[in-house]
Amino acid sequence: LGILYVNDSFGTFFARSIENKAVQGNLSISVMLVALPVGASKDEVTASLTLLKNTGYRYFVGILFEQDFISVMPLAYEMGIAGEKHFWMFTESQLQLINSP
Q: Which of 65, 1, 70 is nearest to 38 (CA)?
A: 65
CA atoms within 13 A on the CB side of 68: 24
Residues 6+ apart with CB under 8 A from 24: none
* In the chain, where the domains are located: 8-91
pLDDT in tens, 36-84: 999 999 999 999 999 999 999 999 999 998 899 999 999 999 999 999 9
2-6 and 87-90 beta bridge pairing: unpaired
**Mean pLDDT of all residues in the chain?**
90
DSSP E strand boundaries for the chain: 2-6, 32-36, 59-63, 87-90
Residue 24 is predicted with a pLDDT of: 84
Q: What's the predicted TM-score (pTM) here?
A: 0.87
